[in-house]
């Protein structure tokens, strides 16, 4: 399969499986047709779950050495197909090619990281009595289901698939409707290196059909979801109905808190990147700018100037900012910008002018900075999912913490200060799963536990902690 193939099908049990009906895959930069996608549903999901269950009977007995070798080999073949994978990712999502290459590299890194660390993951011996030998085992759940968002297809499914396979599970993935191609290609590569047929399966289709069927399937023993808080709640209900565990990575409204002693010039590039990366369609985007009163004017002026220099265009041409995922998302972002009350748009807020003729129909929005936003307003509270940052001011540390914690979300935050005592003090008080100081990681690296507080979800992906999410503890007590 490559970027020229015109139809994308499900991949089940090591084979491509077309569906009777299809839908169009649309290029968000031009609105043009990229090809057809098989519209899988309950039948394909059932077939995929059964294929995974058969494979799991073999895979759960595999040694950690065997799993390690196959995972590391998968990383190698991902890198060997780096150009192709990046092109697929850029075309489907619209993201700049540099960012698409980064996503391929991170996907490979997940397989490499978990391939290296699984051999060091084990249970514990528990001291009890002289005539008792007690120990714990970490065992796989069985078949894991994964429903992921369209903003980082390869990264999101890569971390889920690598963790699930490393711990002895087999998996069924449902990629987002808009971005199926790189996930299907990943399934081909995983199968090619020697995993059991059906160890990793992909069902393409609509979330309301294939996704709902996967969440409700009785053969799924563990669910993972990345997406909106609203849909995450539905996934949690589906998991609760069958009493199975789930990991939810949901929305965010992450804050950059800039104190008066911050190195503003050093901060500006990170502040801008945190909101334009992937066109702001990132759950951990730095979408709130909380600035000390005495540096507010300077930060806003320099941030606006930097945002006005951002280049915009077709992802394959590798600008700084590509299109949103769809014209529907473009209209949604514009809806937020039409409802800002007494706040002021300092820069951006429009569809860009002067684009090449073939990009005029693309889903573009200029980088946008909205100042003097009311903390309780819709645009300050809800996830816009576009290249939009809202600015507000604070007087003292207590107010800064209150503003940072003043939404339903708690995924990522960053503190910009030269005062190390303040950094530790505020980091302890801000309610978020990751806190950065004088940098912004937008989710951080493969090695860092990632997940949310409050309505940003629960459970942790990435890092060795993810192994605990994908295994269950068995305690064995032996009387000697």
* Contact criterion met (CB below 8 Å) for 452 and 458: yes
Cα distance between residue 41 and residue 204, in whole Å: 8
CA angle 395–397–401, rounded 5-degree value? 105
Instruction: Tell how far CA 377 is from the center of its chain.
Output: 26
Which one is catalytic: 89, 91, 249, 469?
A: 249
* Contact criterion met (CB below 8 Å) for 228 and 211: no
* Parallel, antiparallel or unpaired: strands 125-126 and 132-140: antiparallel
Query: CA nearest 100: which of 91, 111, 84, 89?
Result: 89
Q: Which residues are bridge partners to 7 per DSSP? A: 36
Q: Coil, strand or helix: which one is 187?
A: helix
- What are the CA-CA distances from residue 439 to residues 258, 355, 377, 398, 412 (Å)? 11, 32, 27, 22, 12
Dihedral through CA 271, CA 273, CA 277, CA 280, nearest 10? 30
Cα distance between residue 442 and residue 226, in whole Å: 15
Cα distance between residue 387 and residue 368, in whole Å: 6
The number of residues in the chain equals 480
Q: Which residues are bridge partners to 23 per DSSP? A: 37
Annotation says 249 is catalytic: yes
List all residues 6 or more positions away from 280 whose beta carbon is below 8 Å from its beta carbon. 287, 384, 385, 386, 387, 388
Cα distance between residue 7 and residue 26, in whole Å: 12
Mind giving me the DSSP string for 420-457? Answer: HHHHHHHHHHS--SEEEESS--TT--TTS-B--EETTE
List all residues 6 or more positions away from 82 whose beta carbon is below 8 Å from its beta carbon. 101, 104, 105, 108
CA angle 246–247–253, rounded 5-degree value? 140
* Contact criterion met (CB below 8 Å) for 123 and 135: yes
Residues assigned a catalytic role: 249
């Amino acid at each position: 399969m490559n970027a020229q193939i015109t139809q994308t099908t499900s991949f089940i049990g090591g084979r491509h499986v077309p569906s009777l009906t299809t839908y169009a895959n649309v290029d968000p930069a031009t609105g043009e047709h990229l090809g057809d996608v098989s519209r899988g549903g309950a039948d394909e999901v059932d077939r995929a779950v059964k294929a995974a269950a058969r494979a799991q009977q073999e895979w759960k007995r595999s040694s950690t050495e065997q799993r390690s070798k196959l995972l590391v080999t998968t990383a190698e073949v991902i890198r060997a197909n780096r150009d192709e994978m990046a092109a697929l990712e850029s075309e489907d999502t619209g993201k700049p090619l540099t960012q698409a290459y980064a996503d391929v590299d991170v996907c490979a890194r997940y397989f490499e990281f978990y391939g290296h660390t699984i051999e060091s993951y084990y249970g514990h011996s528990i001291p009890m009595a002289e005539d008792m030998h007690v120990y714990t085992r970490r065992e796989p759940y069985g078949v894991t289901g994964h429903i992921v968002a369209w903003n980082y297809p390869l990264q999101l499914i890569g971390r889920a698939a690598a963790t699930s396979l490393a711990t002895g599970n087999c998996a069924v993935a449902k990629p987002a409707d808009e971005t199926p191609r790189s996930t299907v290609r990943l399934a081909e590569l995983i199968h090619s290196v020697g995993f059991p047929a059906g160890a990793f399966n992909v069902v393409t289709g609509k979330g309301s059909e294939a996704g709902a069927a996967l969440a409700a399937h009785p053969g799924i023993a563990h669910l993972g979801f990345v997406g909106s808080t609203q849909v995450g709640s539905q996934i949690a209900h589906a998991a609760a109905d069958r009493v199975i565990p789930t990991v939810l990575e949901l929305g965010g409204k992450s804050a950059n808190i800039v104190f008066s002693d911050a190195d503003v010039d050093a901060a500006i590039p990170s502040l801008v990147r945190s909101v334009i990366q992937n066109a702001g369609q990132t759950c951990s985007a730095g979408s709130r700018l909380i600035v000390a009163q005495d540096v507010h004017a300077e930060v806003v002026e320099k941030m606006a100037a930097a945002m006005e220099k951002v280049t915009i265009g077709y992802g394959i041409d590798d600008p700084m900012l590509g299109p949103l995922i769809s014209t529907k998302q473009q209209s949604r972002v514009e809806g937020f910008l039409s409802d800002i009350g007494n706040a002021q748009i300092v820069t951006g807020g429009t569809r860009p002018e002067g684009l090449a003729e073939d990009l005029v129909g693309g889903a573009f929005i200029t980088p946008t900075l909205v100042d003097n936003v009311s903390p309780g307003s819709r645009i300050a509270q809800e996830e816009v999912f576009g290249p939009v940052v809202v600015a507000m001011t604070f007087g003292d540390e207590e107010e800064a913490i209150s503003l940072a914690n003043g939404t339903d979300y708690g995924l990522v935050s960053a503190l910009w200060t030269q005062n190390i005592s303040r950094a530790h003090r505020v980091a302890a008080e801000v309610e978020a799963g990751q806190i950065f100081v004088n940098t912004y990681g937008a989710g951080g690296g493969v090695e860092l536990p990632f997940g949310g507080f409050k309505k940003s979800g629960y459970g942790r992906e990435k890092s060795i902690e993810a192994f605990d999410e994908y295994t269950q503890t068995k305690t064995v007590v032996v009387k000697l």
